[in-house]
Structure 1
Amino acid sequence: MDTSKRIPFEVLETTFIKVLTRHGFEQNKAEICSKLFAKASLDGVASHGLNRFPAFLEQISRGRVLPDKDPVKEFSLPIMERWNGQLGAGMYNASLAMDRAIAMATTNGMGCVALSNTNHWMRAGNYGWQAAEAGCIGICFTNTTPNMPAWGGKEPKLGNNPLVIALPYLDKAVVLDTAMTQYSYGKMAIYRKENRELPFDAGFDSEGKLTKDPFEVIAEQLALPIGLWKGAGLSMMLDLMASGLSDGQSTHEIGRQKEEYGVSQFFLCLHPEVLGIPKEKLDERIGNVLADLKTSKVFEGMEISYPGEQSFVRREENLRLGVPVDTEIWEKVVKMIE
């Protein structure tokens, strides 16, 4: 993959907006979705930014993502709401859901939103940053189509069900963004395109042997659960909570469709200051933990980073130098507005 080309963040974002408006998005919705796509690439997660953009447009053309649909609130309490995404754009729906959780937390100390019948939210970490930038602790997760085996299984029965946990810290954040698989399918797709093996075992081949070959893992949909049986168990619990609280589809129901759409998600926010914890005190506690972490001895050639640290480093660099893009994919997107 040739990523020697760099594009100013604003150009990346405005190009996405122009394409989406041509695909039936009203301006505000196009701007929100485009910013989230662009921010993913800005932070170094092109697998869920520019690289995923053409696939998103294909879902629109197949009628899986409905640009003109907005989420509808079906149930509400002062600290909990349930929404139906109506198969609208997943990034827009997720951004709205996190906004609602933030609003409730700002008033009541905590707030949560369960969202059914929505679509892929692309980079999960975006919504953790969204919460942290509003001064909230944010937790969110989604289910997916079956793409991971139960521990000991030889067929995909579980989703890789990404989980995000974010805490505000100074003018930054600590943000964990992790799928339940050792590698996300987006990351494996990058290695497959480059015809490279992954650095560590990524899943199982057709004979049940561990492999670093992205071609085999993607073909079999047998990605390796994080923590082995523990990741498999956590995946199931996230699926049960997301589908149960949203009254939406579970992973096995999504799998029957033979295509991923109509997924279930959950968003939780806690506002420390409303809950009686001053920002300065939380910042000090987090800072002490991170400082201690950085004192760790390391193996040769290794370094210690906390969750989200490298995203912030890449963000600053790419704002200054331009966002690295896959030249082939970028040129394909640009042609859509010529």
Structure 2
Amino acid sequence: MARYPGEETERRYPEPVLRDVVSQVFAACGMTGADAVTLAESLVHADRRGIHSHGVLRVPDYVKKMTEDGVDPRGRPRIVSDSGAALVIDGDNAMGQIAGTLAVDAVIDRARTVNVAFAAVRGSNHSGALDWYTMRIAMQGMIGVAGSNALPTMAPWGGVDKIVGLNPISIAVPGGGRGPIVLDVALGATAHGKIRVYAQKEQPIPEGWAFDAAGAPTTDAAAALEGLIQPIGGHKGIGLAVMVGLLASVLSGAGYGTESGNMLDGATPGADGQFYLAINVSAFRDIADFAEHVDRIARQYRDSRRADGVERLYLPGDLEAEFAERNRREGIPLNDEAVALIVEAGTRLGVDTNTLLQSAR
């Protein structure tokens, strides 16, 4: 069962080895050891769950951000406003995962006492897969919600100018025996990084994912990278993207839309914003009863009638959980180009990547 074409023919890499090598690459950029491990784990988490668009494919981009594009590898995020349930965090131009980790820890801690906590983050950068944060919140018996702005890759409904980001949102709800129900979606038909995966493999993207630069539908991955991503649900998807972007940016004073950069010139360092919300379930009802209720709803969903030819019904996060279980056991599948780019970045920074190459299965 593969998320991307050709995944079954790709070599697999043990998760600990991949995490160690990637963290060494980030440390060589000037990050502290702890921050480098945090950043590496966020990418391995995405690959573990089959979300390769937000996995170690990002290593060369992140290295470039920290060594050439002005992101501070030693930035120290901090809480700059504390008003009970409302927190504002300045990311100090660090990678978004470093600011996001501080924000998640803060809302979990605050929600234990005030039951609902919201952190608005400014001064941040790309923060990776959002389910990495919401799942951490859910594991504490809380509902986690996270959202981020993104570089503009979509146009207003009926327009052609790139001024709206995919602005992803994630929600994780604690469950019982089978773990949380986890939604993590960008509000375009696909993520920019997923198109890059297809472009690396020189394979066409599915119909309905993108327009070319002239606004015509395309399945050519290279043309899609130059063009526009289609929104989910037409005008509804654009509307949701606008609202998530407002929550992620305007409360904290972060950049919105083109204020954070563009796909041609790149992101403006430290202009990104995110938000993180924790809702303490025990403030509303017994957590065990809540989890059992969630599981009951999940069983009804999965056991409901299927259309002809459909083998299974998946709740949000089910497929990713299956990938995670398999990839922990068998290793992370990576295409050769993604590995070559990690090796290239490591070699340039003086990091020995032989252990990664030798670990391939």
User: TM-score band (shorter)?
Assistant: over 0.9
2:87 maps to which residue? Answer: 81
SS at match of 2:12: strand
Deviation at 1:196, TM superposition (A): 2.0
Partners in 2 of 1:4 and 1:304 — Cα distance?
27
| Aligned counterparts of 2:338 and 2:199: Cα–Cα separation in 1 | 15
SS at match of 1:267: strand
Distance 1:94 1:331 in 2: 29
Q: Confirm or deny that 1:146 pairs with 2:152.
A: yes
Which amino acid counterpart does residue 77 of structure 2 have in structure 1?
P
CA distance in 1, matches of 2:219, 2:208: 5
Alignment correspondent of 1:190: 197
User: Cα–Cα, structure 1 residues 120 and 299, in superposed 2: closer, same or farther, change >3 Å?
Assistant: farther
Instruction: Answer whether contact 1:15 1:334 (CA < 8 A) is retained.
Output: no
For 1:259, the aligned partner's letter is: G
Matches within 5 A, 1:54-203: 54-170=60-176, 172-203=179-210
The 3-state SS of whatever aligns with 1:73 is strand
Aligned counterpart in structure 1 of residue 259 of structure 2, from 243, 253, 258: 253
Task: Give the corresponding residue for 1:14.
Answer: 20
Aligned length: 336
Unaligned runs of 5+ in 1: none
**Secondary structure, in 3 states, of the residue corresponding to 1:131?**
helix
Task: State how far apart, in whole Å, the 2-side matches of 1:332 and 1:211 are.
Answer: 27
Q: Secondary structure at the match of 1:234?
A: helix
Post-superposition CA distance 1:276-323 (Å, at most 9, x none): 311221122212221121213223145310111111111111111111
SS at match of 1:245: coil
Q: Post-superposition shift, 1:86?
A: 1.5
Q: Which amino acid aligns with 2:21?
A: T
Identity, in percent, stands at: 26
1:25 partner SS:
coil
Q: What is the 5 A alignment of 1:163-312? A: 163-170=169-176, 172-220=179-227, 222-255=228-261, 258-260=265-267, 261=269, 262-273=271-282, 275-294=283-302, 295-301=304-310, 303-312=312-321
Question: Is the counterpart of residue 324 in structure 1 residue 333 in structure 2?
Answer: yes
| Kept after mapping to 2: 8 A contact 1:87/1:119 | yes
Cα RMSD for the two superposed structures: 1.8
The equivalent of 2:36 in structure 1 is 30
What's the CA shift string for 1:65-113, capped at 9, x where partnerless? 2111111221111211101112101111112111111111122111110
* Structure 2 SS opposite 1:188: helix
Looking at structure 2, the residues matched to 298 and 199 of structure 1 have their Cα atoms a distance apart, in angstroms, of 22
> Structure 2 CA distance, aligned partners of 1:118 and 1:48?
17
Give the Cα–Cα distance (whole angstroms) in 2 for the partners of residues 298 and 332 of structure 1: 42
**CA deviation digits over 1:132-185, x for unaligned, max 9?**
112210111011121101100012110100101111112521110000101001
Tell me, in whole angstroms, the C-alpha distance in 2 between the residues paired with 1:314 and 1:32: 21
Q: TM-score, normalised by structure 1?
A: 0.94
Given that residues 202 and 214 in structure 1 are in contact (C-alpha distance below 8 angstroms), is that contact kept between their aligned partners in structure 2?
no
CA change 1:204–1:91 in 2 (3 A) is: same
Q: Contact conserved, 1:51 with 1:326, CA < 8 A, in 2?
A: no
Alpha-carbon distance between aligned partners in 2 of 1:43 and 1:147, rounded to the nearest angstrom: 25
Counterpart CA distance in 2 for 1:186 and 1:117 is 23
CA distance in 2, matches of 1:276, 1:125: 23
Deviations 1:15-47 (A, max 9, x none): 112111111111111111111111111111122
1:53 match: 59
What residue is the counterpart of 1:314 in the other structure? 323
Q: Which moved more, 1:156-165 or 1:2-11?
A: 2-11
Amino acid paired to 2:315:
Y
> What displacement does 1:206 show?
3.5
Aligned-pair CA distance for 1:122: 1.3
Task: Check the 8 A contact 2:183/2:316 in 1, yes or no.
Answer: yes
Give the Å deviation of 1:334: 3.8
Counterpart secondary structure, 1:169: coil
Query: For the residues of structure 2 that align with 1:296 and 1:105, how far apart are their CA atoms?
Result: 39
- CA spacing shift, 1:200–1:290, aligned 2, 3 Å: farther
**What residue is the counterpart of 2:358 in the other structure?**
none
SS at match of 1:113: strand
Answer yes or no: is the 8 Å Cα contact 1:185–1:218 preserved in 2: yes
Structure 2 counterpart SS, 1:55: helix
